[in-house]
Structure 1
């Protein structure tokens, strides 16, 4: 038996014992995650800097703070989420009780992504624990320092019989996918999502796929100079701020009216300079590209001659440091790879339109994105975006902040993924809602049984159409 199989067998035995179903176990593990993060904050900062070049402030904003908030939120509402919910039943079945009872799925597998290696590992794990499951966490091999940190630290804080970390590369991921799981939660690329779905189909395993896509931002005409300034800051923050543009919900491209393009580019340049200085490659406020392969992919996108001709800012590459300068493109060819594939890097194409209303059609002509961002003060345009486009989420007048809201579901649609998590939605993602119905032996509804006749058809029709009249007939004993 391999190490993977041995771990899975131990997790199944632990789940079978029933210990993970108790409130006390779930709360103890959530508190352990809080302790783990708080006790090891500096170690987390070092690991994230080593793997991605993240500044401690960015580490806390996007990783440490997110996990602490999520764990504390789940602790606060756990017992409410676990409580059975009463179900409304037809009066015809009186006296009958019904309830919906959440139960854990069993042994779950969580694949974490490399761009937020702490958040995308521990946030889904919080949901799995809250729901009462045992779990295997597979960190990304692309962030070896963070993967080692999780593998070394989690067993010291969490119950190692019920929560296991299995590190390794694609070969380990492949062996994990060969096993039978009760749920697989995957964060990554659409290509990886297809591999997971294909493996899960063999066992009919339910999956949650948190993928990516080309998330657009729409910039409508704003009359107030202060509104424009704030919008541009939030656009720069939403493009280059999270992991140097390597974020599934980061802005991929920007739609704007042609007449405003030159002014916008000037404002973007000024804001980039303010955030990252005259020489961004020497700044400590922007992450590096994750590895050489991703760097070469981005280089190839930018060195396409038609794309290179559209560069209006940036474009310099520093291979040794795996750093690409914040870059702006103006109207690159729409059939170029940079406009058909997710960029996942510090490059922002600006697409100009004669009228901002054309943005609706532009977005709808492409796969459904994980997020749409729109900066506008027009309520009618907001309603149009919500009603006429499809995406995982829509955020008006800001970027990225929807990810921090535990009361809002986070997830994709179509090619950007399916399933959702955060807060109660994470609990639901790792739970099965079981219907429980209890009846007595009296009264009996004789018209439900053959032999059939006209009266029984009228009775059943009446019971479906007018539930209270069906009950009345039953109580009067009108049966034949």
Structure 2
């Protein structure tokens, strides 16, 4: 990865605005070609992408193909196929709320690209979280500045080299570097900013955007909870699915199960299920030591800073370790770890963003919902229960960006579902058409014909008594309200 020179950043900004002003990107054919080029770039260099992400994160190739590469190839191709439909002008003449007279005015809504946009991607899922926003912006007809995370330098360097070979350099540019570079980028006026990351940085980005009144999409995260209802779920299967959600990318994902709420009477059975699943995922070595430290099916913590942060949390917690706890600093690997804590523990203060599953014992569903609602609204709430009553309680008594029953993580695979947070976990929605919608606005239009003048002439001064006796249009009236109706409404 080569840091983008400071003096290049304003030039990139200016070029992208100039290209957008030329309306080159408005062409559906141009958009489709660029989207297919994204798919081609990923297809033709799939091994290079998998290798780069392994070098940065130690992520198994299977995980890269399953959760990033194949997903983005698929969505780039779908976007190319569907963009003409998404961008189509909508005729509202037949809308049930349009009066007959206004049907002649040709009411239309056109999804219109916002302009030159900025996509800021994080390090934890470097491919999907940089390409997904870029796909949506291209489909929308915007020009794109893609700011990649310096933490995943191998991936960033690969994209930096490949994008000029596949994509239109007048319209899609990559910026690499750390805090100084992103600070420089944020000084400039963009027409939309699409950021994925954490709330701390999001506040900085939102403050920078506010100076220019720039709209934002923020995909953040936070502590995504799990509620287990032992009366109506298979505890062993629930444990297996929760552990899989926790170990994916070593827990370094915004939808990772962060803490689990369960009645005390079921804790032991659930932990037994976790241990059984763990042993099947990563069978221990003959001497009993964890095999996970050398496993090709387990990633590693991104860097020493994050490793030490997680290590410090495990050292500071007053909770009881029920499973795992092993640490290999050389490999930057932390064994999948389960800790039973009480409210107020250090592990409950912030999102762990690592392979640590926290268990908090609560008496019932009501108390579980109260515990969740006392904090920031999570990006996703997982509930393991087949009871309709319990599921309805979760719907009514909590707020979250996503609400998933009886599994973890799989909401990301259902491409028709809008994905995003609420409150502290972010705002705006993405995936396919929803990402397209982030980068467009609904431009409305009317064409009022001359011949309707005889119907609307009473809108002009001077106003007389007769002005109050005639409806100006089929929808707008200045008649004096009936006194009996008025008194009845206000009584």
The interval holding the TM-score normalised by the smaller chain is over 0.9
Match of 1:238 among 227, 232, 245: 245
Cα displacement (A) at 1:76: 2.2
2 CA distance for matches of 1:373 and 1:246? 17
Further displaced range: 379-388 or 25-34? 379-388
Equivalent in the alignment of 1:318: 328
Equivalent in the alignment of 1:184: 193
Equivalent in the alignment of 1:328: 338
Equivalent in the alignment of 1:66: 71
2 CA distance for matches of 1:297 and 1:246? 13
The alpha-carbon distance between structure 1 residues 465 and 184, as it changes in their structure 2 partners (threshold 3 A), is: closer
Confirm or deny that 1:37 pairs with 2:37.
no
- Mapped contact 1:334–1:340 kept (Cα < 8 A): no
2 CA distance for matches of 1:341 and 1:176? 28
Cα displacement (A) at 1:378: 1.0
- Mapped contact 1:218–1:375 kept (Cα < 8 A): yes
The alpha-carbon distance between structure 1 residues 465 and 229, as it changes in their structure 2 partners (threshold 3 A), is: farther
The alpha-carbon distance between structure 1 residues 357 and 439, as it changes in their structure 2 partners (threshold 3 A), is: same
SS in 1 for 2:129: helix
Cα displacement (A) at 1:458: 4.5
- Mapped contact 2:33–2:80 kept (Cα < 8 A): no
Cα displacement (A) at 1:119: 0.5
1 CA distance for matches of 2:314 and 2:65? 32
Match of 2:174 among 145, 165, 172: 165
Confirm or deny that 1:420 pairs with 2:429.
yes
Cα displacement (A) at 1:342: 0.6
> How many pairs were matched up?
461
SS in 1 for 2:470: helix
1 CA distance for matches of 2:124 and 2:437? 25
Gaps in structure 1 of 5+ consecutive residues: 468-480
Cα displacement (A) at 1:150: 0.7
Match of 2:313 among 301, 308, 318: 301
SS in 2 for 1:367: coil
2 CA distance for matches of 1:50 and 1:214? 28
Equivalent in the alignment of 1:345: 354
Superimposed CA distance per residue, residues 145-189 of structure 1 (whole angstroms, 9 cap, x where no aligned partner):
101111011111111111111111111010000111111110111
- Mapped contact 1:32–1:157 kept (Cα < 8 A): yes
SS in 1 for 2:33: helix
Superimposed CA distance per residue, residues 251-279 of structure 1 (whole angstroms, 9 cap, x where no aligned partner):
11111111100010111011112112322
- Mapped contact 1:215–1:253 kept (Cα < 8 A): yes
The alpha-carbon distance between structure 1 residues 334 and 31, as it changes in their structure 2 partners (threshold 3 A), is: same
The alpha-carbon distance between structure 1 residues 49 and 103, as it changes in their structure 2 partners (threshold 3 A), is: same
TM-score by length of 1: 0.92
Further displaced range: 439-448 or 108-117? 439-448
2 CA distance for matches of 1:461 and 1:392? 44
Equivalent in the alignment of 1:229: 236
2 CA distance for matches of 1:117 and 1:462? 55
Confirm or deny that 1:446 pairs with 2:441.
no
Cα displacement (A) at 1:428: 0.5
SS in 1 for 2:357: strand
Equivalent in the alignment of 1:256: 262
Equivalent in the alignment of 1:152: 161
Equivalent in the alignment of 1:265: 271
The alpha-carbon distance between structure 1 residues 434 and 461, as it changes in their structure 2 partners (threshold 3 A), is: closer
- Mapped contact 2:119–2:133 kept (Cα < 8 A): yes
Equivalent in the alignment of 2:403: 394
Equivalent in the alignment of 2:82: 77
Cα displacement (A) at 1:68: 1.2
TM-score by length of 2: 0.90
Confirm or deny that 1:95 pairs with 2:101.
no
- Mapped contact 2:60–2:297 kept (Cα < 8 A): yes
- Mapped contact 1:103–1:131 kept (Cα < 8 A): yes
2 CA distance for matches of 1:250 and 1:80? 34
- Mapped contact 1:353–1:359 kept (Cα < 8 A): yes
Equivalent in the alignment of 2:300: 288
Cα displacement (A) at 1:305: 4.9
2 CA distance for matches of 1:18 and 1:267? 58
Further displaced range: 98-107 or 298-307? 298-307
Confirm or deny that 1:365 pairs with 2:387.
no
Cα displacement (A) at 1:103: 1.1
2 CA distance for matches of 1:251 and 1:458? 64
2 CA distance for matches of 1:260 and 1:433? 51
SS in 2 for 1:383: helix
2 CA distance for matches of 1:409 and 1:23? 24
The alpha-carbon distance between structure 1 residues 283 and 413, as it changes in their structure 2 partners (threshold 3 A), is: same
1 CA distance for matches of 2:103 and 2:307? 67
The alpha-carbon distance between structure 1 residues 466 and 448, as it changes in their structure 2 partners (threshold 3 A), is: closer
SS in 2 for 1:391: coil
Superimposed CA distance per residue, residues 274-302 of structure 1 (whole angstroms, 9 cap, x where no aligned partner):
11232211212111111111111111211
SS in 1 for 2:365: coil
